[in-house]
Amino acid sequence: MYKGRALATIFFNLLFVIFNLVSLVLFVPFLQVIFPSEDTELVLSEPQYSGEGIGGFIDYVKDYYDYFMSTMAQEDPKYALMFVCISVVIAFFLKSLFRYLAIYHQSQLRMAVVRDYRNKLFEKSMRLPVSFFTEEKKGDLMSRMNGDVNEIEIAVVAVLELIFRDPLSVIITVSVLIYWSPALTLFSFILLPLSALIITQIGKSLKRTATKGQKQLGVLFSFLDEHLGGIRIVKAFNATKASVNKFKDINLHHQRLLTRAFRKRDLSSPLNEFLGAVVMILIVWYGGSMILDGEAGDGFTGKQFIGFIIVFSQLLVPVQNIAKNTANLSKAKASQERIEEILDLDEKILDPEHPAPIKPLADKITFTDVSFAYRKETVLRNINFDLPKGKTIALVGESGSGKSTIADLLPRFYDVLEGEVSYDGTNIKEFNLHDLRSQIGMVSQESILFNDTVFNNIAFGMENVSKEDVIQAAKVANAHDFIVSLEDGYETNIGERGNKLSGGQKQRVSIARAVLKNPPIMILDEATSALDTESEKLVQEALDHLMENRTSLVIAHRLSTIKNADMILVLSKGEIVERGTHEELFALKGHYFKLSTMQEV
């Protein structure tokens, strides 16, 4: 699709350039008709084509047009004037038509490029490991998908104009000028190399400033995301003024960088305009002097000189566009590099070339000598345990002990550094990621819901789901009663991150989603720790229903909720320090006993 649109844009731009020049060249006979002079020679004999190449053909066309106009002017000057006026109008109409057609195809092309870049960036971000989002700012990624992609949109237009329109316009225009007066044309190009050198230096400086500006935009987006998402905390701690002041500082820095970039980009156009004006004044002086002194050469009359000035004035437009688009490309190059940084990132968590087939768990999941580190900081050391089919293992321990990390290793949100996690004796790295994760359901401590309907949140990630299936899942999760009481029932939009629902309601919708997926393995980052007593009871009942006949790995915050677990693993500083049932661990009077008694107090 790019190729067709690009070729159409180039073709219509070429026609625009031709008819733009024709509309100006036609002013010469216009002037000859209005201001006839004694030395104007009428061509009354029809010229003959000499057949001497392109030059001969151009001379023939020119002579034939002079013959045509001379004949018409001799018979009826007013009719000749009307003919020239109509010709100029038609040329301007065609010029405008072809310019519109070029813009028509160009608009489709530029927006298609923007669409595809955003698609690529979002698809890539969905494939990147979870570690990327813990180490990088989401705002920076949003900046690249917005600001940097917009710069690419501008660059698409700049490239087409810089390569295929403006240079052609310059070449054709210069060819006409040389045909009229080689000496005058050569004189007009005295300052162009100086202009090009100045614009090149501005472009290099612009690229450096543009890179800084896009990075600062990422900082600004990150700040917005954090503070709008945490607005309750901002208000609760009376941090509104401090947050506003910090945002103003970040925004001011971004504004200054952007202002510098715009100033540098926009400097090239007026600078070229000024240099062009200087050249034009010199041409008027030099060419006028040649005509007055009789040194302009045969055939170069005062009227042609006026035509030369008119055509040369239009030469400044593509030259200025080249300068402007060169600056735009310099700015876009910085954005292109930032986009490519994301697209070229190592995805790390990859599918194997020849994935092993996966079946529902038949025996057990095994962690063997597993160690893991974030940025060289070890968080798990020599983790060994089995999770048998149909059993529940609970992970307990203080914050930062590695509980969530163990849970994240099973669906391969991260890969182990040492040891292995096996599924019925097969290393989970040998399975296709989609197949592996299809066997696993998750309910996290923080309910992750989306700005969509209740139905779509429960059916998230699943296709061809019937309403009856969604309702049944909601009933198992103790969510059906409150859902039907909502304004539009299952079609109610729950707002950004589900904020129209209470904490308990959000958790039950999350559980309904896991129930509908019906996976044989469940990972539960216990969802009752931040709920009131009534909500906790409803959610706990839903969790109990969810865990029935499933293999479950539970991260426990309230120890009272995992007393019936088949095995409890107690973690401290990334190591398993105790393991056993609730009664066995309580009798040891060790870490688990201390955690239990602290919660009872």
Does 351 map to a domain?
no
Is residue 248 domain-shared with residue 386, that is, in the same domain?
no
User: Of 20-24, 357-361, 496-500, 511-515, where does the model show the most confidence?
Assistant: 357-361
CATH number of the domain where residue 93 is located = 1.20.1560.10
Give the pLDDT of residue 430: 92
Is residue 266 domain-shared with residue 375, that is, in the same domain?
no
Is residue 232 domain-shared with residue 118, that is, in the same domain?
yes
d(CA 394, CA 364): 15
Residue at token pair 């969802």? 527
Is residue 312 domain-shared with residue 418, that is, in the same domain?
no
Is residue 311 domain-shared with residue 370, that is, in the same domain?
no
Does 409 map to a domain?
yes
Name the pTM for this structure: 0.62
CA distances from 102 to 8, 12, 312, 529 (A): 7, 5, 24, 62
Give CA angle at 403 (398, 408), nearest 5°. 155
Give the pLDDT of residue 268: 63
Q: Which of 276, 310, 343 is the last residue of a domain?
A: 343
Give the pLDDT of residue 367: 93
Give the pLDDT of residue 51: 59
pLDDT for 473-483, tens place per residue? 888 888 888 88
- Does 371 have pLDDT greater than 80? yes
pLDDT for 141-155, tens place per residue? 777 777 788 778 777
Tell me what the mean pLDDT of segment 569-585 comes to.
Answer: 89
d(CA 431, CA 411): 11
Does 283 map to a domain?
yes
Give the pLDDT of residue 601: 42
pLDDT-derived band at 1, boundaries 50, 70, 90: low
Contacts of 570-573 with CB under 8 Å at 24 or more apart are 570/396, 570/397, 570/595, 571/395, 571/396, 571/397, 571/401, 571/402, 571/403, 571/406, 572/397, 572/398, 572/401, 573/401, 573/402
pLDDT for 149-203, tens place per residue? 877 877 777 777 777 777 777 777 777 777 777 777 777 776 556 665 666 666 6
CATH number of the domain where residue 539 is located = 3.40.50.300
Does 354 map to a domain?
no
Is residue 309 domain-shared with residue 394, that is, in the same domain?
no
Does 191 map to a domain?
yes
DSSP secondary structure string, 43-111? --S-------HHHHHHHHHHHHHHHHHHHHHHH-HHHHHHHHHHHHHHHHHHHHHHHHHHHHHHHHHHH
d(CA 601, CA 393): 25
Domain count for the chain, please give it.
2
Q: Are 402 and 555 spatial neighbours (Cβ–Cβ below 8 Å)?
A: no
- Does 123 have pLDDT greater than 50? yes
Is residue 316 domain-shared with residue 402, that is, in the same domain?
no
Residue at token pair 């614009």? 199
Is residue 318 domain-shared with residue 396, that is, in the same domain?
no
d(CA 323, CA 315): 13
Does 129 map to a domain?
yes
More confident: 232 or 461: 461
Q: Which of 310, 343, 376 is the last residue of a domain?
A: 343
Does 355 map to a domain?
no
More confident: 178 or 28: 178
Is residue 236 domain-shared with residue 97, that is, in the same domain?
yes
More confident: 116 or 376: 116
Is residue 338 domain-shared with residue 368, that is, in the same domain?
no
DSSP secondary structure string, 232-267? HHHHHTT-HHHHHHHHHHHHHHHHHHHHHHHHHHHH
Is residue 243 domain-shared with residue 380, that is, in the same domain?
no
pLDDT for 231-245, tens place per residue? 766 766 677 788 888
Give the pLDDT of residue 366: 93
Is residue 272 domain-shared with residue 382, that is, in the same domain?
no
Question: 414: domain range?
Answer: 364-600
Q: Are 590 and 578 spatial neighbours (Cβ–Cβ below 8 Å)?
A: yes
> Comparing C-alpha atoms, which of 370, 376, 426, 428 is closest to residue 402?
370
List, in order, residues 6 or more apart from 342 with CB less than 8 Å away. Answer: 121, 124, 125, 141, 144
d(CA 133, CA 110): 30
Does 356 map to a domain?
no
Q: Which of 343, 377, 411 is the last residue of a domain?
A: 343
Output phi, psi for 377, to 5 deg.
-100, 110
